[in-house]
């Protein structure tokens, strides 16, 4: 189990997949280059902005700081897997309805953090919302709308 390259297998948005990767590659890069998924994207490259967020075994992870090799055997969900066909997830709907983005570059990350939050805590307090989302940045400054979107997503999930 050594060497510069290897094949990894994992479950990606519900499908079993395999990829031939270099061990130096991070997960963002492999999702883009091997699977054409660009919803997780590298911006700061340092774990700060959350634009590269994906869920690994249900936990939000900074894919720009994760070696793709570590994904072997795991279950990965990206923003592309969130909608059920044409039906958007409650989080996605909430972000649209509250206008919680401008350029949209940070949006998949915020939506996935919202999902992890609501999975763990269906009725979060505002403090809890702030806590979960404070590790993501939005340069367009849509924070107020984003917090509203999370509240709305919580309501939608209950309905």
Beta strand residue intervals within the chain, DSSP E:
5-12, 15-22, 53-56, 59-62, 75-77
| Secondary element (H or E) of residue 116 | helix 107-120
Work out the angle at residue 31's Cα, subtended by the Cα atoms of residues 27 and 32, and round it to the nearest 5 degrees: 115
CB of 51 to ligand FES, least distance (A): 5
**Residues between 83 and 122 that touch other proteins (CB under 8 A):** 83, 88, 92, 95-97, 99, 101-108, 111, 113, 116
CA dihedral 138, 141, 143, 149 (to 10 degrees): -80
Within 115-154, which residues bind ligand FES (CB under 6 A)?
Answer: 138-140, 142
Q: Which residues bind ligand FAD (CB under 6 A)?
A: 46-48, 65
Min dist CB 122 to ligand FAD, Å, is: 27
Chain residues 30-89 in contact with ligand FES, contact rule CB under 6 A: 42-45, 47-52, 62, 64
């Amino acid at each position: 189990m050594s060497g510069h390259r290897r094949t990894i297998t994992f479950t990606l948005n519900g499908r079993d997949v395999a990829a031939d990767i270099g061990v130096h590659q991070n997960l963002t890069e492999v999702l883009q280059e091997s699977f054409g998924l660009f919803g997780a994207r590298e911006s700061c490259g340092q774990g700060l902005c959350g634009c590269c967020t994906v869920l690994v075994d249900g936990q939000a992870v900074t894919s720009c700081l994760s070696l793709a090799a570590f994904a072997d055997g795991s279950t990965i969900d990206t923003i592309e897997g969130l909608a059920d066909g044409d039906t958007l997830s409650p989080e996605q709907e909430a972000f649209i309805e509250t206008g919680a983005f401008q350029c949209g570059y940070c949006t998949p990350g915020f939506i996935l953090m919202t999902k992890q939050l609501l999975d763990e805590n269906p009725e979060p307090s505002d403090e809890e919302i702030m806590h979960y989302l404070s590790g993501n940045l939005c340069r367009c400054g849509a924070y107020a709308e984003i917090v509203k979107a999370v509240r709305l997503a919580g309501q939608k999930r209950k309905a």
